Chains A and B, each alone.
Chain A
Amino acid sequence: MVPESCPVPTLPGVVGERMQQIVVNGIVAAAVYVVAGFGFGLIYRTATFFHIAQAAIIAVGAYGTYWLCVGIGFPLPVAVLLSVVFSAIVGACADQAIFRPLRRRGASPLVLLLASLGLYVVLTNLLSMAFGDSIKTIAWGRVEEGWRVFGARITTVQAMTIAIIALLAVLSAIAFRSTKIGITLRAVADDPELAGISGIEVDRVVLVASAVGSGLSGLAGILLALDLGMTPMMGLNVLLMGVVAFIIGGGLKDMTGLVAGGLFLGLSQHLAGWLIGPQWQYAMAFVVLIVLLLLRPKGMWLSQSHGSLA
């Protein structure tokens, strides 16, 4: 989308407004990446493997909401809540059925990753069989042109997305600092073996992390689906974007790093989309991922200081 070829805006001040719209869209995208990155990071740090199947769970959340809301007719907030819970259950069941037995046998991270890859394929195809491959949207309320904020338009969904992230950031900061499960999670993330010796049931902590992480992945999928619609394959891009945000942000400490990473990614992606065309947005982000991993081959999160979920 080169600005010159756009037919409508020739009025003065439009370029400034478009820049504001890019910023708003970038922030909304960032919010989704932060949720996905947080869910991924929670599992990555406790279970210590790259859980690609989270990409499918992102889509599970979206389609769960679609089915409950459009198929059965539940009110949207109820459908969203139930789908988040359902995503969490799917993640927990997968951990119990596949990853816990593998951990018990001392499987390498590579074996866990390949098993997760298999799960991704199975779940994605189940969704594709049940709902088809075409884009589905959840139409709710009347179509609105959105509120005007600093000259940009923002829809209710987008505003809610940002509000949910803010709430989540505060809640998680409290949980990690002062609840028992938050502290044990940090202990396991720091050193699973030592945590086990100290009497923490590592398997249970990983189970909780898988459930919460999958719930968050589901939520990321729902937020994206409400804004842009869904396909069974939607999750992989979102997950990898979340991973990029997670790497840039350097972990989960108090989510400020993650939020900063998400914002950097979201804004640069939408800026790139405006400059060289929206179809290149994702390719750009993956190039960023590759470059980041080249610069920090062990991943940024592993070289961070100990003692926190960073």
Chain B
Amino acid sequence: MEYALHILMMVCIYVALGASLNLVAGYAGSPSLAHAAFYGLGAYVAGLMSLRLGSPFMLNLLCAVGFSAVLGAIVRALTMRIRGDHFIVVTLAFQVVVFSILYNWVSFTGGPMGLSAIPEPTVFGWLVSSHADFLLLGLVYCVLTLWVCRRIANSPFGRVLKAIREDEVLASAAGKDVAMHHVLIFMISAGIAAGAGVLFAHYMCFVDATSFTEMESIFIISIVIIGGGGSSWGPVVGALVLVGLPELFRFLGMPTSVAANVRQMLYGGLLIVFMLWRPQGLLGEYAFGGTRDSR
């Protein structure tokens, strides 16, 4: 039972991560490979604050979200001139730098040992301790994220994002501030990812840098792509498929020693298959520049 609750909790976290990355990749049309970095920074800010300062959960959450959002805004503003596939490369480089800092700054982040014994959170006087409690907290965060993302997508702001995705020159000719839209949506996206990281840190009671590698970033972008870029339900489907399917394999008797590899090969393979035959994903409307057939 606890196992099922754990899987559901991970689904919630990945839905939030996927939905927030979808804002940038699916709606604004500039995929990033730095999402695990913002997720990880959120987890580390929360872990460090609660261990070093003993600060309450809600304050940690606020600081982590704020920190990642500001950093995200700075990164996006600096890289505004970099277009298309080069932007992905820069985000990948940023991802590797953040991982390297989390992993190598031993005196501050604990390095390879990570941070352990992160306390259980208290939310407005409610001590979250059992798996069911955490799942409830995760569900609240996940639903809140989906609601926010949907609101953004359907707002005038979201429509401008889609216009920028389809034709940046046209959008700026119509008087839309392209750079401001890109920076703002990247900031929101990074902030939501950090929130998911805070949940993860308090839920696992332990964080270490190897949870936030470039492979994790590729996993999150796979959720967005396979679910469908630019679809508000896409990340939910993507997360259910990519988190759920490997667990199904486990029931079919796959040895645990290869489970991690099979999980990664599954999303790597799906990424190729979807790019070949369905770049817009299961539910999506944006095909990442797509192919001649899908345009």
**A residues at B contact (CB < 8 Å):** 49-50, 52, 98, 101-102, 105-115, 117-122, 124-126, 128-129, 236-237, 240, 243, 277, 279-280, 282-283, 286-287, 289-290, 293-294, 297-299
Contacts and interface: CB of A to CB of B under 8 A. Distances in A.
B264 A125 contact: yes
Contacts, number: 143
Interface in B252-271: 258, 261-262, 264-265, 267-271
A125 B293 CA distance: 32
B215 A121 contact: yes
A107 B90 contact: no
Contacts of B215: 121
Contact of B290 (A107, A120, A129): A107
Contacts of A106: 291-293
9 contacts: A50-B86, A107-B275, A111-B289, A122-B268, A125-B264, A280-B100, A293-B89, A293-B90, A298-B83
B241 interface: no
Q: Closest 7 A-B residue pairs measured CB to CB? A: A108-B289, A121-B268, A118-B271, A106-B292, A105-B291, A115-B275, A283-B100
A294 B293 contact: no
Contacts of B290: 107-108, 111
Contacts of B218: 117, 120-121
B84 A102 contact: no
Nearest to A288: B93
Interface in B231-282: 258, 261-262, 264-265, 267-272, 275-276, 279
A118 B93 contact: no
B289 A110 contact: yes
Contacts of B272: 98, 115, 118-119, 122
A109 B85 contact: yes
Contacts of B287: 111
A119 B275 CA distance: 11
B93 A290 contact: yes
Contact of B270 (A118, A236, A293): A118
A283 B96 contact: yes
Contacts of A121: 215, 218, 264-265, 267-268, 271
A293 B86 contact: yes
B85 A125 contact: no
A118 B269 contact: yes
B208 interface: no
Given A102-B276, A108-B288, A236-B214, A120 B96 contact: no
B82 interface: yes
B84 A122 contact: no
Contacts of A117: 218, 221, 268, 271
Given A114-B225, A286-B97, A297 B268 contact: no
Interface of B: 31, 78-79, 81-86, 88-90, 92-94, 96-97, 100-101, 104, 214-215, 218, 221-222, 225, 258, 261-262, 264-265, 267-272, 275-276, 279, 287-293
Interface of A is mostly: helix
Interface of B is mostly: helix
B68 to A, nearest CB: 18
Contacts of B88: 50, 110, 113
B211 to A, nearest CB: 15
Contacts of B79: 293-294
Contact of A290 (B90, B104, B268, B276): B90
Contacts of A283: 96-97, 100-101, 104
B40 to A, nearest CB: 15
B82 A115 contact: no
A1 to B, nearest CB: 13
Contact of B261 (A105, A114, A125): A125
A120 B93 CA distance: 16
B288 to A, nearest CB: 5
A235 to B, nearest CB: 12
A50 B85 contact: yes
Nearest to A302: B86
Contact of A114 (B90, B258, B275): B275
Nearest to B289: A108
A83 B267 CA distance: 27
Given A118-B267, A121-B268, A290-B90, 10 more contacts: A111-B287, A115-B276, A117-B218, A122-B268, A126-B261, A290-B94, A293-B90, A294-B78, A294-B79, A298-B86
B269 A111 contact: no
B289 A297 contact: no
A125 B81 CA distance: 34
Contacts of A112: 275
Contact of A110 (B85, B94, B264): B85
Of listed A105, A112, A117, residue having the most chain B CB within 10 A: A117
Contacts of A129: 258, 261
